[in-house]
Amino acid sequence: MSTDLPWRVLADPTAAWAAQPTFVLGQLLFVGLALVAGLHAWRSGAETRFIWVGALLAGTANDLIFMALPLVDNFWHAQGLVMLTPRLPLYIPCVYICFLYLPTVAARRWGLSRWRTIGLTGLAAVLFYAPFDIVGPPFLWWTWHDTDATLSARILGAPCSSTLWVLTFSGAFSGLVDWALRGVESVDRRVVVVGMARLLALCTLLMMVQMTALQQVDGGSPGFGALVVGLVIYGLVAVGGPRPVVPVGARSWLSWVLPAYFAVLLGLGITGTPETHRSAGVHQPLGACEVTWVDITGLSRQRYLCVTDYDEPFSLSCPDRPGANDAWYTVCGVADPERAAWVGGLAAVAAVGALVFGLLLGLRRRRDTGSA
């Protein structure tokens, strides 16, 4: 891909709104929620501040790694209001903060064992991320590689591999956070330095180890079977072992914020019109249909997007479509013939997510006196 791309650090807000109004609101949602999470972290103590910064660093590093590796490079973010690189909008680090920090602190407040906390965090992160993963593609917040086998199995447009990645990455993050913080008397400089080093060095690696093992269920490329097995394993881990003996304390004020997050994404999905959206930026390069590469699982995929044969929720019939091998071009959204079912699925996911986070952050539990 050419490094000479017509990208801008700061977008024209008026033009951005005209092209992708839901994307503008989505970016503001995640930036705002990341700041709210930062306020919560600052007010709650050194441990939560460690988790917030760790989520920012480990998450951003993961995104940069996967954009840089040709064998994995299978997604392209839209041009945001603020761009850190030609392919990394500012709101993406905020997404990582939100889906790592909020599920982690929600699970940790229950005083569970390390493994139960890991299981609960992974499942909560899946619920948090799912509406975002469903809403983004039809409104062109990002585009997927058309023929990458790891993306072929999808639910409501979201690849099973993406959901499995959220589960395993957030689980790895939770475990490394617990390793750094459990049993320490104070979060001093040594705890922070060693803990952050582990997060940066091991979080993506531990996710890849889990993904590699789970995707064998589907013959080497993650699909429905791998996702189900992963969710079942995390569920069993979350409910196994001794019951907590530490009360969760007062209701967290975040319990009022999280339902609003789900409501906003649901509202964008219901009121937005994909066919009026267009995204000019970096996408899968266009080129000869017969040129193939391999993905990270060793399976074959087309190197370029074949303009005469693709199956993604966008159209190439935009006025500034470039020539072959050009990675910067405009895609236009298309109407979904199964929109009613899509909205129904999104509403169900958002409702479950709001309910679960309301319970995790809102309930006050009595002290348990025994173990299971």
* Residue 10 lies inside a defined structural domain of this protein: no
Is the confidence at residue 4, as pLDDT, over 90?
Answer: no
Is the confidence at residue 365, as pLDDT, over 60?
Answer: no
Alpha-helical runs (H) found in 79-159: 91-108, 114-135
Is the confidence at residue 18, as pLDDT, over 60?
Answer: yes
Q: What is the pLDDT of residue 177?
A: 97
What DSSP line would sit under 230-267, residue for residue? Answer: HHHHHHHHHH-SPPP-S---SPPTHHHHHHHHHHHHHH
Q: What is the pLDDT of residue 371?
A: 31
Six-digit token string for 266: 């649901």
319 versus 315: which is more confidently predicted?
Answer: 315
* Residue 4 lies inside a defined structural domain of this protein: no
Count the alpha carbons within 13 Å of 57 in the hemisphere toward its beta carbon: 18
Q: Give 367's pLDDT tier (boundaries 50, 70, 90).
A: very low
* Residue 203 lies inside a defined structural domain of this protein: yes
| Domains of the chain: total | 1
Is the confidence at residue 369, as pLDDT, over 50?
Answer: no
Q: Please state, in angstroms and rounded to a whole number, the distance separating the CA atoms of residues 204 and 296.
A: 14
* Residue 13 lies inside a defined structural domain of this protein: no
* Residue 315 lies inside a defined structural domain of this protein: no
List beta partners, residue 140.
none
Is the confidence at residue 66, as pLDDT, over 60?
Answer: yes
Q: What is the pLDDT of residue 11?
A: 97
Q: Please state, in angstroms and rounded to a whole number, the distance separating the CA atoms of residues 357 and 304.
A: 41
pLDDT in tens, 317-341: 886 665 545 889 999 999 998 999 9
* Residue 311 lies inside a defined structural domain of this protein: no
Q: Are 163 and 123 in contact (CB under 8 A)?
A: no
* Residue 289 lies inside a defined structural domain of this protein: no
* Residue 284 lies inside a defined structural domain of this protein: no
Q: What percent of the chain has pLDDT over 90?
A: 78
Locate tokens 């109004």: which residue? Answer: 21
Give me the count of residues in the chain.
Answer: 372
Residues of the domain holding 240:
19-273+338-362
Burial-class residue 313 by CB neighbours within 10 Å (0-12, 13-18, 19+): middle
pLDDT in tens, 25-60: 999 999 999 999 999 999 999 999 999 999 999 999
Q: Give 368's pLDDT tier (boundaries 50, 70, 90).
A: very low
Give the lowest-confidence range in 82-86, 308-312, 365-369.
365-369
b/e sequence 44-70, b meaning 16+ C-beta within 10 Å: beebbbbbbbbbbbbbbbbbeebbeee
Residues 94-123, mean pLDDT to the nearest whole number: 95
What does the radius of gyration of the chain's CA atoms come to, in whole angstroms?
21
Q: What is the pLDDT of residue 322?
A: 55
Residues 63-72, mean pLDDT to the nearest whole number: 80
Locate tokens 């979904």: which residue? Answer: 336
Q: Please state, in angstroms and rounded to a whole number, the distance separating the CA atoms of residues 295 and 304.
A: 13
Please provide the average confidence, as pLDDT, over all residues in the chain: 91
